[in-house]
Chains A and B, each alone.
Chain A
Amino acid sequence: MFADDKLKAVMASMLDIDVSTVGPETSTDTVAQWDSVRHMNLIIALEEAFGISVPDDEVATLTSYAIVRAVVEEQLAGA
């Protein structure tokens, strides 16, 4: 079972948005403050929270909730 709530909580904290608004619509296009610094901190927080390592070539592609969820799930499965 993927911990959607945990992922939503981490993304909400790091992007400074309300956790109830995090979902399929959440992306760099809809969250104005999702800049490069927040992006970097989001990656660090995701790795810490889930105990994973985001592959280097995926870092730049994590631009929406759906993609983040897919990559985190994939890393958890591979771990």
Chain B
Amino acid sequence: MSDGSDAALVALQGESLKLSEVTRLVSEMERSSGLERTVTFGLSGNITIDLLGTYLRKQALLHGHRAQVQVGDFGDHPGNMKRFAAGGTDAVILLDLFDAFVPAFESRIPLFGQDVVEAHAERFRSELALTLSEARGVKHVFVSLLHRLSPPNAGSASDEVDGAVAAFNDAITDGAAHFENVHVISTGALSAELGWGNAHDIHSYQRFRAPFTPAFLDRFAEQVYRLTRGFGSYFYKALVLDGDNTLWGGILGEDLADGIKLGPYGYPGSQYWEVQHDFLSLQRHGVLLGLCSKNNPADVDEVLASHPHMVLRDEHFVAKRVNWDDKAANLEGIAKDLNIGLESVVFVDDSSFECEAIRNQLPMVQTLQVPAKLFEYPALVRRIKELFAVDSVHTEGPTKTDQYRLLSLARQERTRHATQDEYLASLDLKVTLQRNDRASAARIAELTQKSNQFNLTTRRYTVSEVDSLTDSGGADVYSVHVADKFGDSGLTGVVIVKYVSPETAVIDTFLLSCRVLGRSVELSFWSHVMDAARSRNCRSMIAEYLPTAKNDQVRDFWDRLGFELVGEDPAGGRNYRVDLATGHLAPHPEHVKVAYVR
């Protein structure tokens, strides 16, 4: 595809495009792109629905193919089906308006009497049966489920019009149940979603018999593509979920199992509890669930096994990657475990850092971010359900779709960063190291109290203890601030160095918040810490690792930094040393810029 039509493709994905813009972009792309595959549509309706063709062509282009649309004769469903089927049409769409079956139908129903309405419903039923049997040879048949055009009466539960619409809709659902190739699309649901005024144009109905707005037809075409999984252009099979702030509120490593927010009562825990039910019902519909979380595996296992309000349990996840590795590698591992392609994976995470990393490194994965406004989570879940098309009547096997995928994969590959290093380099990571800043004492104390996982010694300090260390002259208290192009993570790390003798500095505390892990921040600022010790004429620096139930991930941290292991006790504690004159530390990670504030 040319660059010009790439730009048109991006423009076409825009929200609330005007009809003339969509029409222009669609024509432009159809002219310039070299798409080979064409899906043919036949439209049939008791109203004017030509504009639906424009939006089907738009959806087609968004899914990497062309649509060719034919509009049948007005109101002649059986005849149209016969012609469409004979012409080898891939998909036919029956879009009717209830009010248009009989002129001014809704106004006249109260006057007709029950028997006349029943006669109309019966006629509709038998005509639909004929229509659907004529369409038997067409691969996909879409039938609109009807709704009333006149506003319902708020003062009564239902009236004659509701009853008549229900009778027609019964005929449609019965008919659909007999034919495997039939999908039903509810016009009432789309109208409710858009709002009545946005879905209908009464003036246009009167003038052109075209009651539906471009916005409605756009959404209708989207449903057609959703129900067929873009006519085989994608097939999602696995939903891989993050843990913290995705399945539950809070950070498990800091808030601990009884501190995370999850449960039927009380926002925001109730929001997570609700979406877990949605994920569980996807699992019941055959979606493979995976868990990909940066946490200690034992902590997550505990939550899965024993948290009273977890809806999803260990048995619901077919693949788990709970560790501190980068998530791209973990997703690749999960896909490999499940023997599916990464293009079949939908990944959900709350972190911009993780989402952007996956979009960059694994663009074939459908990556969705949990909204920052948590009350918008249900809208994301609706979108996830649409991607999996769990309500589609029938499904196409993945083998048929492979050939269509190759093309789009090749295009995605262009934008992929070759390595995790390149991705990190694109982040503009900035670390600011601050020494003995009294204003930060409260946050420093809080971090020593809360941090469990990336914490080498797990020593807890109060604010006044931090203050006295800062003022003592016998110690340096460093705070580590991290920012990247996604924003400022704030004060997220602490180093405390005690000068225990004229020649020896001891690293009493080193911790980092889980939020900034995986970016090599922990290796970036040590030269400044060493320099400060050297300026006091220290000859060596001593460090230790004190094991706890939570901090296994940092067991070899001092080795990685380049310290020398000098002793290990039976409980797993380790002692390290580095010679400040001759020792060499791990090279400074190139993608991290460090600023030092004395």
Chain A residues within CB distance 8 Å of chain B: 9-10, 12-14, 16, 37, 40-41, 43-45, 48-49, 53, 56, 59
The segment from B14-22, B140-148, B401-409 that touches chain A is: B14-22
Task: Tell me the smallest distance from the CB of B55 to a CB of chain A, in Å.
Answer: 12
Q: Are A45 and B23 in contact (CB under 8 A)?
A: yes
* Interchain residue pairs with CB less than 8 A apart (11): A14-B20, A37-B50, A40-B208, A40-B210, A41-B23, A44-B210, A44-B214, A45-B18, A45-B20, A49-B18, A49-B20
Residue of B24, B48, B51 touching A13 (CB-CB under 8 A): B24
If over half of B's interface residues share one DSSP class (helix, strand or loop), that class is named, otherwise mixed; here it is helix
In the complex, how many angstroms separate the beta carbon of B210 from the nearest chain A beta carbon? 7
Across-interface contacts of B71 in A (CB, < 8 A): 37
Q: Determine the chain A residues whose CB is within 8 A of the CB of B20 once the complex forms.
A: 9-10, 13-14, 45, 48-49
Whether the Cβ atoms of B18 and A59 lie closer than 8 Å is: no
Closest to B31 in A: A16
B392 within 8 A of A: no
User: Counting CB contacts under 8 A, is B203 at the interface?
Assistant: yes
On chain B, the residues within 8 Å of A9 by CB distance are 20, 24
Q: Is B400 in contact with chain A by the CB < 8 A criterion?
A: no
Interface range, B side:
10 to 19
Cα A40 to Cα B358 with chains together (Å):
45
Least distance between A3 CB and chain B CB atoms (Å): 13
- Does B18 lie within 8 Å of A53, measured CB to CB? no
Residues of chain B within 8 A of A45, CB atoms compared: 18-20, 23
Given known pairs A40-B48, A44-B19, A45-B19, the reply for A13 and B27 (CB within 8 Å) is yes
Query: Nearest CB to that of A53 among chain B residues?
Result: B203
**Given A13-B23, A14-B23, A59-B207, also A41-B18 (CB < 8 A):** no
- Chain A residues in 8 Å Cβ range of B207: 56, 59
Instruction: Determine whether B204 belongs to the interface, using a CB cutoff of 8 Å to chain A.
Output: yes
- Shortest A14–chain B CB gap in Å is 6
- Bound form: Cα–Cα A9–B201 in Å: 24
A48 x B19 contact (CB < 8 A): yes
Encode contact with A along B29-63: 1 for CB under 8 Å, 0 otherwise: 00000000000000000001011001000000000
Chain A nearest CB from B469 CB (Å) reads: 67
Residues of B within 8 A of A43 (CB): 208
Nearest-CB residue, chain B, relative to A12 = B24
- For the complex of A and B, the 5 pairs showing the least CB-CB separation, nearest first, are A13-B24, A45-B20, A13-B20, A10-B20, A45-B19
Of residues 188 to 218 in B, which have CB atoms within 8 Å of A's CB atoms?
Answer: 201, 203-204, 207-208, 210, 214
Q: Please report the C-alpha to C-alpha distance between residue A43 and residue B206 in the assembled complex, in whole angstroms.
A: 14
**Would you give the shortest CB distance from A61 to chain B, in whole angstroms?**
14
The residue on A at minimum CB distance from B27 is: A16
Instruction: Output the nearest chain A residue to B24 by Cβ-Cβ distance.
Output: A13
B54: chain A residues within 8 A (beta carbon) = 41
Closest beta carbon of chain B to A37's beta carbon, Å:
5
Interface residues of B in 470-509 (CB under 8 A from A): none
A41 to B48, CA, bound (A): 11
* Residues on the A chain within 8 Å of B21, using CB: 13
- CA–CA, A13 and B20, complex, Å: 6
Cβ contact within 8 Å between B51 and A41: yes
Q: Closest approach, in angstroms, between the C-beta of B488 and any C-beta of chain A?
A: 42
Q: Contacting B18 at CB < 8 Å: which of A12, A40, A48, A56?
A: A48
For the complex with contacts A14-B20, A44-B208, 18 further pairs of A-B residues with Cβ separation under 8 Å are: A9-B20, A9-B24, A10-B20, A13-B20, A14-B23, A37-B71, A40-B50, A40-B208, A40-B210, A43-B208, A44-B51, A44-B201, A48-B18, A48-B19, A49-B19, A49-B20, A53-B203, A59-B207
Q: Which residue of A lies closest to B203 (CB)?
A: A53
| A10 / chain B contacts, CB cutoff of 8 Å | 20
Q: Which residue of A lies closest to B53 (CB)?
A: A37
From B23, B51, B204, residue with most partner A Cβ within 10 Å: B23
Separation of A9 and B210 alpha carbons in the complex (Å): 24
Bound-state CA distance A57–B21 (Å) is 27
Closest to A59 in B: B207
Determine the distance from Cα of A48 to Cα of B23 in the docked complex, in whole angstroms: 13
Q: How far is the CB of A71 from chain B (nearest CB, A)?
A: 15
Q: How far is the CA of A68 from the CA of B576 in the complex (A)?
A: 84
Q: Which residues of the other chain, A, contact B208 by a CB distance below 8 angstroms?
A: 40, 43-44
Q: How distant is the Cα of A12 from the Cα of B208 in the complex, in angstroms? A: 22
Residues of B within 8 A of A14 (CB): 19-20, 23
Interface centre among A9, A10, A12, A45 (most CB of B within 10 A): A45
